[in-house]
Structure 1
Amino acid sequence: MRFDVLTLFPELFAPYTQQGVIRRAFEARGGQPPALDLKLWALRDFAEDAYRRVDDRPYGGGPGMVMLVEPLVRALRSVRAEQAEAGLPRTPLILFSPAGRPLNQDRVRALAASPGAVLLCGRYEGVDQRFIDAHVDEELSLGDFVLSGGELPALTLIDAVARLQPGVLHDAASHEQDSFAADHGLLDCPHYSRPERLPEDGAAVPPVLLSGHHAAIARWRRERQLALTAARRPELIEAARAAGRLDARDEAFLRRLAESPADRA
């Protein structure tokens, strides 16, 4: 799959995509091409005046600047021309915006199974609405807060999609037990590692995790998922129930949880 990114700051992307496990998505391995291709399009390259201007004052007055239509159109035409020349499908144009619908794991999974997307990283007060109306297929938001631009949301989306590509994580089961995974839709359970007991305060690993009893460990992890999700994101419990992801043992535990807050520990 491929991401085409329209941005004023293409230099922000390389350091991130060349580090950690995510870099594996962009590397050719075992004679196979990279799982993910990233093409950066510097928007100032598509400005036509001597100052490489891509923004101007908003009509009607007010603070800030607005990204101009013409440089964006020229950049998008170049993307579409390259897609057509390479025989690639026309991928959707996604704009990161506080007005977009929240990005969630379902959308990430859908994108991970698709040919990719064109990502528009907005800046300033925003993008001229005429460009949005004519060309943007989808608007996405990371949450109810405002960033200086769309580069961090774009990197967030790329990271989330990249880790779902085959071979990127050493163990494919890693993302299957993540929070919001498709088979459960719940928050992840707590995790522990060495030492068994901290010397500073004596905090210990839960004994069940040291038992070697795989069924008991699996049940403990499931109940911790349920308890954490019920406490912090109860709407996810309802969604899992509606989707038929909770069995009789889950429901019995949730009833006990409601009756005895001590079970939340």
Structure 2
Amino acid sequence: MDIYRKYFLGIWKDRFVLWSLINRDLQQKYRRSKLGVFWSVLTPTGLAVIIGLVYGALFSTDPREFIPLLFAGLNPWNFISNSSTVASGSFMSAESYLKQSTVNAQIFPLRSVLVCFVDLLYSIIAFLIIYLFLQPEYFGPKMLMVIPGLVIMFVFVLSIANIVSVINLNIRDYQPLQTILFQGLFYVTPVIYSKDMMAERGMSFVYEWNPLYYILEVVKTPLQGREMLSANIYIISILMAVILFAYSVKVVMHAKETVALKL
């Protein structure tokens, strides 16, 4: 248990450094942009509408039904994918801090995830605006379950960030391989289609054995406010997030002593 105490104490000790880095990342991201943070709302909105109209026509689906389904899936997926991509290089981008100061290494994967999490929150706002326009009848208390879902997803994604940051530190060719992996996972995870479409084709095993399906569901389904997820989905997603997080802390804490030497 001592390793977990050190992990959290290190983050608490460097919390002001962490906050300063996150604030700087967000400012630089939209520097010289007239619309600023509104791009975090406009980009996923435009993407969901364009893809929704195209796929809706291809699958003969009502855009009013398909666009919210697509939007609710793309937002959390982008958070998982983008966080993992940015976090894989989190130690390299912080080389000067790690070599010239005593700052704790575990704050840098967390930094990457928190910056992407802010973008996720903005995109959820965009989703709610569009959803209120397209399907106002589904707004209700069921949507509040997105809050515990976001917590579960955040812990899971932080776990991935911790692990990939260490992998990429030791295997510098890992990042492009990760990009290919996530491209493959995108098509076997119910992101731009519903799980019912797979079940109707006798391919439910594709998502039932896919851990990302459960992590996406605890955010995707509550966002749409149509139904309550079964307890099994929450149990599986919580267990995966907790177990992976426990493992990731060991990985990053074991590697932190040699991070500066490997940069």
- The structure with higher relative contact order (CA 8 Å, sep 6+) is 2
Question: Which of the two has higher C-alpha Rg?
Answer: 1
Report which of the two has the higher share of helix: 2
TM norm. shorter chain > 0.5: no
Report which of the two has the higher share of strand: 1
TM range (shorter): under 0.3
What's the TM-score once normalised by structure 2's chain length?
A: 0.26
